[in-house]
């Protein structure tokens, strides 16, 4: 069992991940800007699962209480949220799910100067935080139905091998196949791929396109 804080966990992606991890027996803490919003989301997840284990806290308290911290905020809140928990996450695994979308052209890849949001996170957090990027390409719609089989693989990038192994296992616990996709420098691919998939959804009139790795399984 891992104590997982999901910052911005009241959103669709974060609450979907929280639901699946709580169902798999992990201790999930939903984080939000206010403890009240987080607690409402936690109550909802507990009711949906018939459990009482999910907690809600403000982002900082959630990050302090957790072994592993997951960030699922819109890109506009990325840097500020990271700054607010920097001390609390030192030495921990920090899973960045953020996609640097630039509205309104969200189907156009527009990566930040540092290369990717995850590389920005590593710079802001410092070398003692194990930043891993994952889950950007997974449909929130599919995550929040725990019985839906997810047909999109997870690309996991990071510079710490053990941290990636932990995240690959967490993906499996949530019903997903994940792959070690290389160093954090490779995060441009899953982050950029999100815009490509949003564009495919629009052009081919589907809701949840994804990718699967072939030639391995």
The residue ranges that bind a copy of itself (CB under 8 A) are 107-111, 115, 139, 151-152, 155, 179-183, 185-186, 188-189, 192-193, 195-196, 199-200, 203-204, 206-216
Count CA atoms within 13 Å of residue 147 on its CB side: 2
Nearer to a copy of itself, 10 or 195 (CB): 195
Give min distance, CB of 186 to a copy of itself, in A.
5
Strands (DSSP E) contained in 134-176 are 154-158
Nearer to a copy of itself, 3 or 109 (CB): 109
Q: Provide φ and ψ at 5, rounded to 5°.
A: -100, 135
* Spatial contact of 18 and 57, defined as CB atoms under 8 Å apart: no
Nearer to a copy of itself, 25 or 183 (CB): 183
Q: Distances in Å between the alpha carbon of 156 and those of 70, 77, 170, 202?
A: 13, 22, 11, 26
Structure tokens at 161: 């091998």
Give min distance, CB of 66 to a copy of itself, in A.
28
How far is Cα 95 from Cα 117, in angstroms, rounded to an integer? 11
Nearer to a copy of itself, 122 or 186 (CB): 186
Nearer to a copy of itself, 81 or 137 (CB): 137
Give min distance, CB of 135 to a copy of itself, in A.
15
Give min distance, CB of 18 to a copy of itself, in A.
23
If you ran DSSP here, which 8-state letter would residue 149 be given?
A: P
Structure tokens at 3: 């104590």
Give min distance, CB of 108 to a copy of itself, in A.
5
- Environment class of residue 196 by beta-carbon count within 10 Å: exposed (0-12), middle (13-18) or buried (19+)? middle
Nearer to a copy of itself, 81 or 195 (CB): 195
Structure tokens at 196: 């490509």
Give min distance, CB of 194 to a copy of itself, in A.
9
């Amino acid at each position: 069992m891992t104590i997982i804080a999901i910052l911005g966990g009241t959103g669709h992606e974060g609450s979907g991940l929280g639901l699946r991890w709580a169902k798999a027996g992990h201790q999930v803490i939903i984080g939000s800007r206010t403890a009240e919003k987080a607690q409402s989301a936690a109550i909802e997840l507990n009711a949906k699962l018939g459990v009482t284990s999910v907690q809600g806290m403000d982002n900082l308290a959630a990050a302090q209480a957790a072994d592993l911290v997951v960030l699922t905020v819109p890109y506009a809140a990325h840097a500020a949220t990271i700054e607010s928990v920097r001390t609390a996450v030192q030495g921990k695994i920090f899973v960045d799910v953020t996609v640097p979308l630039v509205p309104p052209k969200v189907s156009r890849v527009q990566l930040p100067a540092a290369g990717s949001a995850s590389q920005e996170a590593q710079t802001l957090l410092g070398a003692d935080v194990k930043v891993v990027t994952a889950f950007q390409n997974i449909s929130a719609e599919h995550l929040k139905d725990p019985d839906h089989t997810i047909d999109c693989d997870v690309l996991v990038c990071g510079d710490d091998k053990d941290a990636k192994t932990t995240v690959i296992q967490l993906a499996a616990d949530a019903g997903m196949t994940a792959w070690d996709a290389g160093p954090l420098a490779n995060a441009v691919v899953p982050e950029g791929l999100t815009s490509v998939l949003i564009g495919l959804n629009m052009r081919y009139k589907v809701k949840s396109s994804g990718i699967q790795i072939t030639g391995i399984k």
